[in-house]
A and B are shown apart, each in its own frame.
Chain A
Amino acid sequence: QSVLTQPPSVSGAPGQRVTISCTGSTSNIGAGFDVHWYQQVPGTAPKLLIHGNNNRPSGVPDRFSGSKSGTSASLAITGLLPEDEGDYYCQSYDTSLSALYVFGTGTRVTVL
C-alpha cells in the first residue's frame, strides 16, 4: 500500500495539457520533503523526469514541469505527444513506519 496516491489514469488529445496529482501526508510531502517524478514506458525501466519538485534532468523537454503545495504535488505535461504515453510515478521521503523512500501508486497517461 503506497502512501502517495495518484489517479489511476489521465488522458488527453495531442497538443493538450494534462496534470497528474500526487497526494501525500504530513509524514512525507507535507513535512517539506521533495517530490520526484518518473516516466515508465511499458516494458522498460522507469526514467527520471523531474527531481527536487521542478528540476528537469538534461534531455527532458520543458513540456514537463512539476509543482508542490501542502501535502500534494503535481506533474504537468503540455503539448501532449504520442510518445508521452506511459506510466508516471511520484516519489518522496517518508518519516512514518513505512519505507523511507516511497513511490506513488502510478498514473497511466493515454494520448487519445
Chain B
Amino acid sequence: QVQLHESGPRLVKPSETLSLTCTISGGSISSYYWTWIRQTPGKGLEWIGYVYSLGGTNYNPSLNSRVTISVDASKNQFSLNLKSVTAADTAVYYCARAIDYGEYYFDTWGLGTLVTVSS
C-alpha cells in the first residue's frame, strides 16, 4: 500500500522560501500525478499544484508566481518550493497522489505537516 510522508522545516521566516519533500513508500512514483494541498482554518483546503512523474507541472493560478514543484524519481520523492512566504502561508501542507482519468481526484494523502511562517 502506497504511503506518503512530508518532511521539511516547520518554521520559516517571512520573505524566505518554504521547502517540503514528500517521500513515497510502498509504490513507485512512475505514471502518476503528485500533488501538494494545504489547509488553513480560514481558507480550508487549497490545491497548490501537481507534478507528473516525468516532470510536467500545473499550478494554482493564485500561487503560480511563487510555486515550484519538482520530482526526483531516483529517490521516489517530489518537492514543493514556495518563495516569498508571508504569515498567510502558514498552513498544514499535505502531499497526495492524484488519480488521472481525464479529471483528477486524490486517493492517497500524507499525514500532513504544519508549517508556520514567523520571524
Residue among B61, B62, B101 making CB contact with A52, cutoff 8 Å: B101
Given contacts A45-B111, A46-B109, A89-B45, contact A101 B104 (CB under 8 A): yes
Contact B60 A100 (CB under 8 A): yes
Interface of chain A residues 41 through 59 with chain B (CB within 8 A): 44-48, 51-52, 57
A98: shortest Cβ distance to chain B, in Å?
Answer: 7
Q: Which chain A positions have C-beta within 8 A of B81?
A: none
CA distance A18 to B47 in the complex (A): 27
Given contacts A36-B105, A45-B94, A46-B109, contact A99 B44 (CB under 8 A): no
Is A23 an interface residue, CB under 8 A from the partner? no
Contact A101 B47 (CB under 8 A): yes
Closest to B48 in A: A99
How many residues on B have C-beta within 8 angstroms of the other chain's C-beta atoms? 23
Contact A103 B99 (CB under 8 A): no
CA distance A1 to B103 in the complex (A): 22
Contact B60 A51 (CB under 8 A): no
- A-B CB contact pairs (8 Å), 21 listed: A2-B44, A33-B103, A34-B105, A36-B106, A38-B106, A45-B111, A46-B106, A46-B109, A47-B109, A48-B105, A48-B108, A51-B105, A89-B44, A99-B46, A99-B47, A99-B61, A101-B104, A103-B47, A104-B44, A106-B44, A106-B45
Q: Which 7 A-B pairs have the closest CB atoms?
A: A103-B45, A36-B105, A101-B47, A45-B109, A99-B60, A51-B105, A48-B107
Residues of B in contact with A (beta carbons under 8 Å apart): 35, 43-47, 58, 60-62, 94, 99, 101, 103-112
